[in-house]
Amino acid sequence: MVRDTNLEDIGQLSLRVYRLVFPEDAIYGNLMYGGKLLLILDEIIAIMAIKFAKGAIVTASLDALDFYHPICVGNILVLATSLNYTGRSSMEIGVKVLAEDPVNNTVQHTCTAFSTCVKVDEHGKPRLLASFTPVTDVEKRRWAEAEQRKQHRMKVFVGLYSC
Ligand SMILES: CC(C)(COP(=O)(O)OP(=O)(O)OC[C@H]1O[C@@H](n2cnc3c(N)ncnc32)[C@H](O)[C@@H]1OP(=O)(O)O)[C@@H](O)C(=O)NCCC(=O)NCCS
């Protein structure tokens, strides 16, 4: 959800990471560089995917990402990560990023990212992934939404490469 600072219950497979934004993360003055946030996101997504796959993974896609609010040096980033969906070899991981200003006691929803990672064998070929069964209402909702995103993604992907 856009600009929503609530964090839902932590599901069975989730990870919450906190990071302080340092001056070296900024590009102009005290504004954080978007590329640095992408690097952090990618690392957290990979940790989650590798832990679940218990093996090698590759990133197949990162959905289009909008930044709703700038992040400043001195903010505390809260990266709430969850495994949303598993297919035969792929899994969707979502990360919601909040930026806390500890001085002014404000919290902003900065972005939400969805990435698909694929478990691969030693030749880089897709490998069967253990399945994950959503149990809670939140997990079931995330699963259903992820399934829809997968269908849309694959339709766009096939369309792009069939021309
Ligand atoms: C991702 C990759 C392994 C898929 O291989 P493939 O031969 O196309 O495999 P398949 O068509 O059988 O798809 C395997 C799974 O990946 C998913 N997938 C493939 N391309 C995808 C894409 N662009 N976005 C999201 N999911 C994708 C499929 O839906 C399928 O999921 P499922 O097994 O859960 O149903 C292959 O495209 C690849 O190696 N890409 C490069 C990955 C990489 O190097 N990333 C880092 C870039 S720096």
The answer to whether residue 163 scores a pLDDT higher than 90 is no
| pLDDT tens for each residue of 43-96 | 999 999 999 999 999 999 999 999 999 999 999 999 999 999 999 999 999 999
Domains of the chain as residue ranges with CATH: 14-161 (3.10.129.10)
The reported pTM is 0.91
User: How many Cα atoms are found within 13 Å in the side-chain-facing hemisphere of 4?
Assistant: 8
What the block records as the tokens of 138 is 């939140």
Q: How many CB atoms lie within 10 A of CB 54?
A: 10
- Protein residue closest via CA to atom 27 of ligand 1: 60
Whether residue 34 has its Cβ less than 6 Å from ligand 1: no
Pairing of strands 26-28, 106-119: unpaired
Token pair in block for residue 52 = 């679940």
User: Quick one: tokens of 105?
Assistant: 């006691």
Pocket test for ligand 1, best of 90, 143, 154 (most atoms within 8 A of CB): 90
The neighbour count for residue 38, using CB atoms within 10 Å, is 14
**Residue 103 reports pLDDT greater than 60:** yes
- Percent of the chain exceeding pLDDT 70 equals 92
> Does the Cβ of 120 fall within 6 Å of ligand 1?
yes
